[in-house]
Amino acid sequence: MVEDTKENIGKCICKSCPSKNQCMNDSDKDFLYCAKGKTECEMVKKGCICGACPIHAKYKLKDYYYCTSGNAE
Ligand code: SF4
Ligand code: SF4
């Protein structure tokens, strides 16, 4: 399980993701979907960059699009 900490929030690269939209920017300011769970915004998949994220490597995550599928098990 990915911990919802300030340090992990700082490492999340969702802020640079092409799929992230204005609703997500406005309502999901901390991102870190792999810990916090999915967004309530409507979202169109335009690519997921979780694979380039240090949290993805640190916690040996296997999946992508946590913003729509929910937090990592
Ligand atoms: S793995 Fe994805 S959702 Fe999790 S911190 Fe990294 S970019 Fe954000
Ligand atoms: S979980 Fe993946 S698709 Fe969603 S905003 Fe983060 S990097 Fe982008």
Check pLDDT > 90 for residue 68.
yes
Domain coordinates in residue numbering, the chain = 6-69
pLDDT tens digits, 1-54: 999 999 999 999 999 999 999 999 999 999 999 999 999 999 999 999 999 999
Asked whether 43 and 65 are in contact (CB, 8 A), the reply is no
Residue 28 Cβ inside 6 Å of ligand 2? The answer reads no
C-alpha of residue 16 to centroid of ligand 2, in Å: 9
∠ Cα 36 27 48 (to 5°): 60
DSSP state of 57: H
pLDDT of residue 73: 83
Q: Mutate which of 17, 32, 34 to test ligand 2's pocket (most atoms within 8 Å of Cβ)?
A: 17
This prediction has a pTM of: 0.96
